[in-house]
């Protein structure tokens, strides 16, 4: 099967798993224009890196799968797939994945903008789990699941601590430093560029600092950009224009594809936009009838210390979200 036939098959697969579009499809040539822009940007950055000294930035620790400290245990600071680098010459995102992301962007833009005031809170409720590896005193490795079911209230302007309610207990999480891509507030997200190219450029520049050439990271800037966008989308109450821009920025990242009939942590079925990196597939699951994000999960594609091929090592679903006046209230 040649490239053109594979592309046509991907489009047919998307038509089978997705409902008829509630909004117009992207204008002809829009996807190809994005791809050409991305390839030009990669070429420009590659040439720029080859003409300047390579610095060694500080490494940012990954949060998912998370690390848990238990009595008598030493946590192994690694994540599934660590130890190798990303594959070169990754193809552009498939037509099917671009189509799913564009429909999600159109659905986001069709959402009415809620007036948000300083002093209010973003409310998010999730269910699911992450996997962690820990080493016992005797040296044996143990695979554990950490519950990610919780409710959380985050100050829209960062002026107040975050309230987290988990397993029947509440705690305050003070903000450390100003809002950023790894620790955003609603106001920070609202200020991000809504042009997909400018937004991806900002996200990639941040990813390059910690996961680019010369770093100790094995993730690579493309995968880190994909993960960062997923984390921002799971914020739960992102401004509609920002949400749409994030989906369209994700469509510019090479390597994207679809995984039909994915199931989130709440048992809801949908179609996923996925990206494979180092033996694991990161999936964003969308509702087939709503084109809205249900949750995300990570699936192993080969056996490793985290489990057998096919195992779901991380699965977190968005159950509810919104804006509240007080921490502890629900929308």
- The pLDDT tens digits of the residues spanning 50-76 come to 333 333 223 232 333 333 333 333 333
Q: What is the pLDDT of residues 232-258, one digit of tens each?
A: 998 878 999 999 999 999 999 999 999
**148 near 126, Cβ under 8 Å?**
yes
Q: How would residue 9 be classed by pLDDT, with cut points 50, 70 and 90?
A: low
Higher pLDDT: 177 or 56? It is 177
Say which residue the tokens 């998307």 belong to. Answer: 14
Given a contact cutoff of 8 angstroms between Cβ atoms, the answer to whether 93 and 297 are in contact is: no
Question: Which is nearest to 200 in space by CA: 180, 222, 233, 178?
Answer: 222
pLDDT at 1 over 80: no
Q: What is the mean pLDDT of residues 102-114?
A: 93
3-state secondary structure at position 9: helix
Which one is predicted more confidently, 79 or 144? 144
- Token pair of 112, please? 């009415």
- Greater model confidence, 104 or 6: 104
**Per-chain mean pLDDT for the chain:** 79
pLDDT of 222 higher than 90: yes
211 is written with which tokens? Answer: 């996961």
Output 113 or 286, whichever has higher pLDDT: 286
Q: What is the pTM of this model?
A: 0.73
Strands 256-263 and 269-277, sheet pairing: antiparallel
Residues of the chain with pLDDT > 70, as a percent, come to 71
Query: Which residue's entry shows tokens 């994540």?
Result: 79
pLDDT of 47: 37
Q: Domain residue spans in the chain?
A: 3-324
Q: Nearest CA to 109 among 245, 209, 15?
A: 245
- 229 has a pLDDT exceeding 60: yes
Within 8 A by CB and 6+ apart from 77, the residues are 61, 67
Could you give the CA distance from residue 149 to residue 169 in angstroms, rounded to a whole number? 12
- The strand pairing partners of 169, in sequence order, are 166
Measured distance CA(328)–CA(170) in Å, rounded: 10
Q: Can you say whether the dihedral through the CA atoms of 36, 42, 46, 49 is positive or negative?
A: positive
Q: What is the DSSP letter of 24?
A: P
Of 17-26, 224-233, 295-304, least confident by mean pLDDT is 17-26
Nearest CA-CA partner of 323 in 156, 135, 157: 156
| pLDDT greater than 50 at residue 219 | yes
3-state helix, strand, coil in the chain (%, to 5): 30, 30, 45
Report the 10 Å Cβ neighbour count for 142: 11
What is the C-alpha separation between 301 and 312, in angstroms, rounded?
Answer: 10
Q: For residues 213-233, give the mean pLDDT.
A: 84
pLDDT at 11: 58
Beta pairing class for 141-147 and 121-136: antiparallel
Which pLDDT score is estimated for 42?
A: 40
- Tokens 């977190």, located at residue: 316
Q: What is the pLDDT of residue 329?
A: 95
**Would you tell me how many other CB atoms lie within 10 Å of the CB of residue 52?**
7
- How far is Cα 193 from Cα 200, in angstroms, rounded to an integer? 9
The pLDDT assigned to 27 comes to 53
Indicate whether 154 pLDDT > 90: yes
Rounded to an integer, the average pLDDT of 43-52 is: 36
């Amino acid at each position: 099967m040649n490239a053109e036939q594979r592309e046509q098959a991907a489009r047919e697969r998307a038509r089978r798993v997705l409902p008829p579009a509630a909004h117009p499809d992207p204008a002809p040539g829009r996807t190809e224009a994005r791809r050409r822009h991305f390839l030009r940007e990669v070429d420009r950055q590659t040439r720029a890196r080859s003409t300047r000294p390579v610095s060694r930035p500080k490494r940012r620790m990954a949060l998912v799968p998370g690390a848990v400290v238990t009595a008598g245990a030493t946590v192994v600071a690694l994540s599934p797939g660590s130890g190798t680098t990303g594959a070169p010459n990754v193809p552009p995102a498939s037509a099917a994945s671009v189509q799913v992301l564009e429909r999600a962007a159109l659905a986001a833009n069709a959402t009415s903008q809620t007036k948000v005031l300083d002093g209010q809170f973003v409310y998010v409720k999730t269910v699911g789990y992450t996997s962690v590896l820990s080493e016992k005193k005797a040296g044996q490795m143990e695979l554990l699941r950490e519950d990610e079911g919780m409710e959380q209230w985050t100050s829209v302007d960062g002026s107040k601590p975050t309230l987290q309610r988990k397993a029947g207990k509440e705690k305050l999480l003070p903000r450390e430093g100003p809002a950023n891509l790894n620790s955003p507030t609603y106001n920070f997200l609202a200020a991000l560029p809504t042009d997909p190219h400018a937004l991806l450029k900002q996200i990639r520049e941040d990813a390059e600092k910690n996961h680019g050439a010369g770093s100790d990271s094995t993730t690579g800037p493309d995968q880190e950009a994909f993960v960062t966008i997923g984390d921002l989308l799971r914020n739960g109450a992102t401004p509609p224009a920002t949400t749409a821009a994030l989906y369209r920025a994700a469509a510019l990242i090479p390597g994207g594809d679809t995984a039909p009939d994915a199931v989130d942590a709440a048992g809801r079925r949908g179609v996923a936009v996925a990206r494979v990196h180092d033996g694991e597939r990161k999936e964003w699951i969308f509702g087939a009838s709503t084109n809205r994000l249900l949750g995300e999960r990570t699936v192993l594609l080969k056996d490793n210390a985290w489990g057998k091929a096919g195992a779901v090592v991380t699965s977190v679903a968005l159950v509810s979200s919104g804006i509240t006046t007080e921490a502890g209230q629900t929308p």
